[in-house]
C-alpha cells in the first residue's frame, strides 16, 4: 500500500514545491513502486479533468470550509531550479483542489458538465488501485429500480448506488457495527439528488430520476477481520420499499 510520504511528495511535485532532494527521493520511490506510479498517473488525470470543468460560482462559505478541512502543503524553502511545469490549480494548488473533493463532503456535477463515464473515472481517480468486487444488491419495483455494488480499492471501501425512480425515493446507508471510517460522498447530480451526511454511522440520499452516487470509507484503526454489514433501506413517503445488506471485507 502506498504510504503518505510518497503521496505528499507527488502532490508537492505537481505544485512545483519540492526541493532537489525531495524530487530525487520521489523519483527513487517511483522507480521502486508500481502503486506510486499509478497514484501519480491518477493525480495527473484528475488535474486534467478538473481543468476541463466549466467555471461555476462557488458558495460564500466554501473558502472557510476548505481551510477547515484541507491540510495545505508547507512551501519548501528552496524550489527545484528546473521546476517541473505542473500547473497549480487556482490559489491553493493541486493538493488542495484534489483534497477538496474528499474534504468538503459532496461534489456535485450539473447535467451539462459531466460526460458519460466521467463519474466512474473520477471514482477510480479518487481511490486508485484495482477494484475488488465484494457484494451487490439489485431490485426493481413499481416505484424504483436500483443497483448497489460494494468494492474495495486498496485501503478504500466504495459503495456505488444507481437509482431510477419517477417519485422521490429516500435511501439510507447504515454502517453502524462496521469498522468503516466515513470519508466522503461523490454525487452525479443529473436530476434531483440530495445527499446528507447524517450521524457518524449513516448517510441518507433523496433521489428522483436517474441518479448515481458513491460513498467512500477508509478502514478504521480498530478494524478487525470480522466486519459487520452495511444496511441499505429504500423508502417512499416513509414506507419501506426494500432493505438489504452488503458485507465489506478487507
What pLDDT, in 10s, does the model give residues 171-213? 999 998 888 988 888 887 554 677 776 667 899 999 888 888 9
Q: How far apart are CA 170 and CA 160, in angstroms?
A: 16
Find the mean pLDDT for residues 131-155: 94
Cell representation of residue 244: 438489504
Domain residue spans in the chain? Answer: 4-104, 118-246
Cell representation of residue 175: 454502517
Beta strand 106-107 with 180-188: parallel, antiparallel or unpaired? parallel
Q: Is the pLDDT of residue 18 over 70?
A: yes
Q: What was the pLDDT predicted at 35? A: 81
Cβ neighbours, 10 Å, residue 157: 28
Q: What was the pLDDT predicted at 52? A: 66
Phi, psi (5° rounding) for residue 108?
-110, 145
Q: How far apart are CA 18 and CA 93, in angstroms?
A: 13
Q: Given the C-alpha cell 413517503, which residue does it identify? A: 237
Say if CB 231 and CB 171 are below 8 A apart: no
Q: Which residues pair with 206 in a beta bridge?
A: 170, 194
Q: What was the pLDDT predicted at 59? A: 59
Q: Is the pLDDT of residue 134 over 50?
A: yes
Highest mean pLDDT, choosing among 32-41, 65-74, 95-104: 32-41
pLDDT tens digits along 31-55: 888 888 878 877 877 777 666 666 6
CATH of domain 118-246: 2.60.40.690
Q: What was the pLDDT predicted at 136? A: 96
Task: Give the total residue count for the chain.
Answer: 250
Q: Which residues pair with 180 in a beta bridge?
A: 219
**DSSP at 104:** S
Q: What is the mean pLDDT of the chain?
A: 76
Cell representation of residue 62: 466554501
Q: How far apart are CA 122 and CA 69, in angstroms?
A: 20
Separation in Å, CA 124 to CA 13, 17, 45, 58, 120: 21, 26, 10, 25, 6
pTM comes to: 0.61
Find the mean pLDDT for residues 234-242: 95
Q: Is the pLDDT of residue 244 over 60?
A: yes
Cell representation of residue 4: 503518505
Say if CB 150 and CB 136 are below 8 A apart: yes
Q: What was the pLDDT predicted at 117? A: 62
**DSSP at 47:** H
Q: Is the pLDDT of residue 93 over 50?
A: no
Separation in Å, CA 103 to CA 145, 149, 152, 186: 31, 23, 20, 11
Q: Which residues pair with 162 in a beta bridge?
A: 147, 212
Say if CB 47 and CB 89 are below 8 A apart: yes
Q: How far apart are CA 10 and CA 18, in angstroms?
A: 9
Amino acid at each position: 500500500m502506498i504510504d503518505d510520504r510518497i503521496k505528499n511528495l507527488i502532490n508537492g511535485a505537481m505544485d512545483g514545491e519540492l526541493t532537489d532532494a525531495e524530487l530525487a527521493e520521489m523519483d527513487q520511490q517511483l522507480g521502486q513502486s508500481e502503486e506510486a506510479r499509478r497514484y501519480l498517473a491518477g493525480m495527473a488525470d484528475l488535474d486534467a479533468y478538473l481543468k476541463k470543468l466549466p467555471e461555476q460560482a462557488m458558495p460564500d462559505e466554501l473558502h472557510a470550509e476548505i481551510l477547515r478541512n484541507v491540510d495545505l502543503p508547507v512551501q519548501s524553502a528552496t524550489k527545484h531550479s528546473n521546476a517541473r511545469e505542473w500547473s497549480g490549480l487556482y490559489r491553493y494548488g493541486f493538493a488542495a483542489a484534489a483534497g477538496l473533493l474528499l474534504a468538503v463532503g459532496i461534489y456535485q456535477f450539473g447535467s451539462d458538465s459531466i460526460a458519460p463515464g466521467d463519474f466512474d473515472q473520477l471514482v477510480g481517480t479518487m481511490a486508485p488501485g484495482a477494484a475488488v468486487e465484494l457484494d451487490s444488491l439489485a431490485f426493481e419495483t413499481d416505484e424504483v429500480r436500483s443497483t448497489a455494488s460494494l468494492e474495495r480499492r486498496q485501503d478504500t471501501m466504495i459503495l456505488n448506488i444507481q437509482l431510477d425512480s419517477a417519485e422521490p425515493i429516500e435511501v439510507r446507508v447504515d454502517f453502524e457495527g462496521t469498522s468503516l471510517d466515513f470519508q466522503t460522498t461523490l454525487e452525479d447530480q443529473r436530476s434531483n439528488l440530495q445527499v446528507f451526511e447524517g450521524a457518524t454511522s449513516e448517510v441518507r440520499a433523496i433521489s428522483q430520476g436517474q441518479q448515481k452516487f458513491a460513498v467512500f470509507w477508509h478502514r478504521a484503526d480498530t478494524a478487525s477481520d470480522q466486519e459487520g454489514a452495511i444496511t441499505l433501506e429504500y423508502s417512499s413517503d416513509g414506507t419501506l420499499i426494500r432493505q438489504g445488506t452488503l458485507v465489506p471485507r478487507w
